[in-house]
Structure 1
């Protein structure tokens, strides 16, 4: 207990000097560090402090993380847009190449079919391309890129890789006009491949063809293939023409109605063959070479028409 009126010495009033306090604290810190290094007694305390300060760390790092994530999002969005544009352009180029390859494949198949057709018909032929369809809506005609300059003549048969499509009706120096078999003014002598029945096929003007003047009980069935008979001297015999798709038979009618679908067609290919004739057509007989009966009749008619001479 302090004595009243007694003052403590200056040493106890001031305490330890700062250098002494620093030395003590450093020594204590080193001792604690060495003890923790050897005994690991502060691990539990350290883990507890880390748990308690973790929310504070998250709260402190959230603004910076938000800014960094926002920047990454927008930069990634721009990169994805550029990548999408690049992939779309590559896809467009690939689609164009694929379409071109498909067209080349189809054209190659058509040309192979034409080569097979040329080898099968055994006649001279001229390869041609279909330029466009004639403008007349009431007729089925197409225009070829070959004319008299290339040896195309009127009346020649025109085929594609599948079968007959028509006949040359008009010829010009550099192009020609082909009337399709489906035209209502076109007719072709044919034969039914299965039964050997001969007939004449006419166009209907609607894209189909009709076998006319056949008896109602004629041996024609659905799916029968119709071939050229070659009786006209224009179309080579044995060329595919059409397939029977409908056969209407009425017992009360003398003739049946048999509808066929053309095998070849301009919608299937753009390349065709203009076939020459297997044998030249015989020349038309001249008036001098007519039969004696007709010549005599002609002479008699001329004599009767001549005035009698005066004696």
Structure 2
């Protein structure tokens, strides 16, 4: 019997509710207000818990559903915002890189306007990583009238010279290459020597007499001798100076290049020597 009641409990509850509603309507029609009022109270007391439970369940369900929908919307919006931030960061990085490139090219172009000779700006497309960055590859070659022994500079100073040329590229020997050589002078004292690379990546100034006036911090510029590098190009700064006492006729001078050769991105090639010496802002103009 109990199983039967449990099995059909919904039907019984619905039937009872309908029966009570029918009785209530009948009593109201007959005009028996006292009985109808009592029956109504009994009916309301009986079904109120169910109505409250149904209302509470509906409210909980609606709240949970709305919060779930809102949470999904927030997650979607958050993902969209993350994508926007990532895109904006990419654009900012690209704009920053473009601004840096424009700044470097602007300095090179300003230098080209001051140089009384034909020049061409080239991009560095390769570096000799097996030999301490002692040569670089640029994207200009014979197709732009690049020839061997042309001087290569940046707005900071001397880079090196062209040693090999193909149709669309050229290899530049850096001033830190031990096989390189450039006539230089101490800008302050006008002492003349030869700059050559060293195994450690610095520059050695050779053939400076023992009595030559050289001090740490002196600027070194090209002397114009040799016919490759025009006079007045900044080369580096003296960082070490000594006078050996073993009978050597020359001082031992080491200099740090002005140009950071490991971070080159664009360079300028001088297609021919200018008619006058070169000068850089902030440095003494050579005579």
TM-score clears 0.5: yes
Equivalents in 2 of 1:61, 1:21: separation in Å? 30
Choose from 257, 267, 273 the match for 1:272: 267
- Aligned counterpart, 2:242: 249
Note if contact 1:233-1:277 (Cα within 8 Å) is conserved in structure 2: no
Equivalents in 1 of 2:77, 2:151: separation in Å? 56
Equivalents in 1 of 2:181, 2:155: separation in Å? 21
Note if contact 1:247-1:256 (Cα within 8 Å) is conserved in structure 2: no
Indicate the RMSD between aligned Cα atoms, in angstroms. Answer: 3.0
Note if contact 1:169-1:179 (Cα within 8 Å) is conserved in structure 2: yes
In the TM superposition, what is the alpha-carbon distance from 1:197 to its structure 2 partner?
2.3
- Aligned counterpart, 1:160: 154
- Aligned counterpart, 1:123: 117
Q: Relative to structure 2, which stretch is displaced further, 215-224 or 185-194?
A: 215-224
Choose from 101, 104, 125 the match for 2:98: 104
Equivalents in 1 of 2:165, 2:274: separation in Å? 21
Equivalents in 2 of 1:225, 1:61: separation in Å? 90
What SS does the corresponding residue of 2:131 show, helix, strand or coil?
coil
Note if contact 2:192-2:208 (Cα within 8 Å) is conserved in structure 1: no
Asked whether 1:144 is paired with 2:138, we answer: yes
TM-score w.r.t. structure 2 length? Answer: 0.68
Unaligned runs of 5+ in 1: 1-17, 26-57, 281-311
Equivalents in 2 of 1:20, 1:62: separation in Å? 35
TM-score w.r.t. structure 1 length? Answer: 0.63
Unaligned runs of 5+ in 2: 1-29, 38-51, 276-287
Distance 1:20 1:79, change over 3 A: closer
When Rg is computed on C-alpha atoms for both structures, the one with the higher figure is: 1
In the TM superposition, what is the alpha-carbon distance from 1:182 to its structure 2 partner?
0.9
Moved over 6 A (4+): 18-22, 58-62
- Aligned counterpart, 1:179: 173
- Equivalent pairs counted in the alignment come to 228
In the TM superposition, what is the alpha-carbon distance from 1:131 to its structure 2 partner?
1.8
- Aligned counterpart, 1:214: 208
Distance 1:208 1:239, change over 3 A: same
